[in-house]
């Protein structure tokens, strides 16, 4: 018999590689009444990701996949997403590039958060490059994932002013605070 829980939140998997502060903020958001999503699965490519601790804290299923063989890992991930009826993927500091095949095979939505005002500063070391180029502003972006890196349709952005004494580390900290608010906002915007 299928047990009805009386709510139908969109089952979501969050993919991480590191600290997982965005994961933490998404989990907290998912527990609010307003949230259209529930976080049902955490996936990482790195068994040492600090963020995996949130699986234990919040009793969420977690899985780690070795990406030395990308296609094998992706095959296994597609299987587990299906098994868990996942309808949304949120990439949150996930450092592996998903293949075109994976993105096309997962028919539902895939979102990513990126610490720059896309389309500017795709890829890594964004804050360092932003300072080198003497930008006045930076920020963060939540976007749909397409098969081209950091290039899918933009959902929402937050702009942040850069101060004269800002370092990449200082900017990273400021941007991260905004990321934690922006990801939930993006989800509310699209559902």
Interface residues with ligand GRF (CB under 6 A)?
A: 16, 18-22, 51, 92-93, 113-115, 176, 179
What gap in Å lies between CA 62 and CA 60, rounded to an integer? 6
Of residues 153, 156, 160, 155, the one with CA closest to residue 178: 160
**Judged by CB, which is closer to ligand GRF: 24, or 35?**
24
Give me the residue whose beta carbon is nearest to ligand GRF: 93
**Judged by CB, which is closer to ligand GRF: 54, or 102?**
54
**180 labelled catalytic:** no
What gap in Å lies between CA 141 and CA 156, rounded to an integer? 6
**Judged by CB, which is closer to ligand GRF: 42, or 92?**
92
> Shortest distance, CB of residue 140 to ligand GRF, whole angstroms?
6
What tokens were used for 47? Answer: 């068994």
> Shortest distance, CB of residue 6 to ligand GRF, whole angstroms?
31
Q: Which of 7, 114, 127, 143 is catalytic?
A: 114
Strand partners, 114: 141
SS3 at position 30: helix
| Phi, psi for residue 117 in degrees, rounded to 5 | -85, 85
**Catalytic machinery residues:** 114
């Amino acid at each position: 018999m299928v047990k009805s829980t009386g709510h139908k939140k969109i089952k979501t998997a969050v993919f991480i590689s590191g600290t997982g502060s965005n994961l933490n903020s998404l989990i907290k958001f998912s527990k609010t009444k307003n949230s259209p999503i529930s976080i049902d699965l955490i996936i990482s490519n790195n068994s040492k990701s600090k963020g995996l601790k949130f699986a234990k804290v919040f009793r969420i299923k977690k899985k780690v996949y070795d990406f030395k063989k990308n296609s094998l890992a992706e095959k296994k991930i597609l299987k587990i997403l299906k098994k868990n009826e996942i309808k949304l993927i949120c990439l949150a500091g996930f450092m592996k590039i998903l293949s075109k095949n994976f993105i096309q095979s997962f028919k539902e939505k895939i979102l990513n958060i990126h610490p720059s005002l896309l389309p500017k500063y795709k890829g890594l070391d964004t804050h360092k490059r932003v300072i080198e180029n003497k930008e006045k502003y930076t920020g963060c972006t939540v976007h749909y994932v397409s098969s081209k890196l950091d290039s899918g349709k933009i959902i929402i952005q937050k702009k942040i002013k850069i101060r004269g004494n800002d370092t990449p580390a200082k900017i990273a900290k400021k941007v991260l605070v905004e990321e934690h608010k922006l990801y939930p906002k993006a989800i509310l915007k699209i559902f």
